[in-house]
Amino acid sequence: MKAAVLEKIGQIKIKDVTKPVPESDEVLIKIKACGLCGTDVKLYKGEYTARIPVILGHEFSGEVVEVGKDVKNFRVGDKIAVDPNESCGVCEYCRDSRPTFCSNLSAYGVLRDGGFAEYCVIGEKGTYKIPDNLSFEESSFTEAVSCALHAIDRADIRLGESVIIIGGGIQGQILTQLCKLQGAEQIIMLTRSKEKQELAKRFGATFADIKTNKKTDIVIEAVGSPETVELAIQLTKRGGKVIIFGFTSEGKKANFLPFDVLYKELTIMGSWVNPYTFDRALKLLSSGKVDVKPLITKVLKLKNLMEGFELMTKKPKGFLKAIIKP
């Protein structure tokens, strides 16, 4: 089968590899759609640690073509979406209901082969049936929505509170929709892009611009840079919460004044991946309460994957998301 293999930092090859065979508790799926994510770019650049060589791609959906002998809930022909963060269920953190920190996490597209390929094997427990009204392309956003849901859970937004979202990319647009659903009275989107500002307003933002003088109860940082983390702390009201959601490169440092955190009594929280939110994300997508169709700006074949990486790096006007269809 054809697959996009990260062979070393800065080198991806589209090559023939052996088609995987499912273990007894796994399913083999034919990949129908796999989203290109900023994390993939960080892996490619060496800004996040992966198991190399590895087939990249962690936002994917497909069709079951073979099932292991112990698989109980899936059969050939099922349309499925994949939770790429597969916990072991037996380590200290898993037994304490904190699978986010699993000591043996199987992260598809990072620590084991993922979705930029014609086929992939997936553990049954990370496999979710797609509702009939959802396309493969829309379903490939389930992981992104599930991660954003965890950030919203961490923020614990109360009806009538105000929120700033820093970053108008895919996650910023999804977070805007979720904040609206959660009952935020004021949602401020900060992004340089006029197109992203307008899209955020369409999704429920009450104000969108490159900067603001306002301070809010909650600030969600969805860019992943030290500068925006610093800005988030500055823009939070006294007694408010800062949610660090953007994926900052490993080793990068942010500077802030501890006194600001002290006298403002800030709560600063990280939001890491998607514990117990995948099924809820699928329901929100199926209901139409979270709309991802306007976020798809490019559909590419696997052989054109590097065009997607170039788009992700240069971010031309109007570009948001590339979907790879092997």
pLDDT at 59: 98
State the chain's mean pLDDT as an integer.
97
In the chain, pLDDT over 90 holds for what percent of residues?
99
CATH C-level class of 2-141+292-325: alpha beta
* Banded pLDDT at 248 (limits 50, 70, 90): very high
The tokens describing 123, both together, are 């553990």
* Banded pLDDT at 24 (limits 50, 70, 90): very high
What is the average pLDDT across 269-298? Answer: 97
Comparing CA positions, the residue from 45, 4, 57, 55 lying closest to residue 224 is 45
Q: Cα 125 to chain center, whole Å?
A: 19
The tokens describing 111, both together, are 């620590």
Neighbours of 114 (CB within 10 A): 28
The tokens describing 292, both together, are 């991802």
Residue ranges, CATH 3.40.50.720, the chain: 148-270
Mode of pairing for the β-strands spanning 162-166 and 216-221: parallel
Phi, psi of 269 (to 5 degrees): -130, 145
The enclosing H or E element of 305 equals helix 305-314
Distances (CA, A) of 75 to 24, 63, 68, 71, 108: 13, 10, 10, 8, 21
Tell me if the pTM is above 0.75.
Answer: yes
CATH superfamily to which 148-270 belongs: NAD(P)-binding Rossmann-like Domain (3.40.50.720)
Residue ranges, CATH 3.90.180.10, the chain: 2-141+292-325
| Cα Rg, the chain, nearest whole Å | 20
128-178 pLDDT, tens digit per residue, is 999 999 999 999 999 999 999 999 999 999 999 999 999 999 999 999 999
Mode of pairing for the β-strands spanning 106-107 and 26-35: unpaired
* Banded pLDDT at 222 (limits 50, 70, 90): very high
